[in-house]
């Protein structure tokens, strides 16, 4: 069973059909939708502000989701994949987004729908990623527009695979 901890009288809530790995940590003001998964050693820490997670979101091994006290919240849309060891901090990520392994998304960033953030990318504070784009590098910059084949082949494939993987552990 994952470590689920109440903070200041607020306990995380989960939608239907969610998978929480035994050593995942979810604390405080976290509201998670349906068909989500939080994997091994991932931390979703809603202790200093709120975290809202849509449906079919996977937070992969070692990822950290956190906010800034009295400043920034986290909003994750639907069909979002947060890659292994990524850091997502005080930002908004819309629907159908893949945040690559080891990427860092800082406070007040907004990633619009249908985007890919490359592995190891660093989105500095206040970065705005327009819909339908791929950002990569340090600091992250637009690499190109995303096409329908890449959106289906990567963003949707990974989100669907993680829903399947979670069924193996239930």
Domain boundaries, the chain: 3-169
Which of 90, 82, 83, 134 has the alpha carbon at shortest distance from 110? 90
**Domain spanning 3-169: CATH superfamily:** Hexapeptide repeat proteins (2.160.10.10)
Give tens-digit pLDDT for 61-77: 999 999 999 999 999 99
pLDDT on residue 140: 98
pLDDT on residue 117: 98
pLDDT on residue 1: 84
Whether the model pTM is above 0.75: yes
Q: b or e along 63-90 (b: 16 or more beta carbons within 10 Å of the residue's beta carbon)?
A: bbbbbeeeebbbebbbbbbbbbbbbbbb
Q: Give the CB-side neighbour count of residue 114, counting CA atoms within 13 A.
A: 13
Structure tokens at 87: 């850091």
């Amino acid at each position: 069973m994952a470590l689920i901890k109440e903070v200041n009288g607020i306990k995380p809530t989960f939608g239907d059909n969610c998978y929480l790995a035994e050593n995942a940590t979810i604390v405080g003001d976290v509201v998670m939708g349906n068909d989500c998964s939080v994997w091994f050693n991932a931390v979703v820490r809603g202790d200093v502000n709120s975290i809202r997670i849509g449906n079919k979101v996977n937070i992969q091994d070692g990822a950290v989701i956190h906010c800034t006290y009295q400043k920034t919240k986290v909003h994750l849309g639907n069909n979002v994949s947060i890659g292994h060891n990524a850091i997502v901090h005080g930002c908004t990520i819309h629907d159908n987004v893949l945040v690559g392994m080891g990427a860092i998304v800082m406070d007040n960033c907004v990633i619009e729908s249908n985007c890919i953030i490359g592995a190891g990318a660093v989105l500095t504070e206040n970065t705005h990623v327009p819909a339908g784009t791929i950002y990569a590098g340090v600091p992250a910059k637009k690499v190109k527009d995303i096409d329908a084949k890449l959106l289906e082949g990567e963003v949707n494939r990974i989100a669907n695979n993680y829903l399947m993987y979670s069924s193996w552990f239930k």
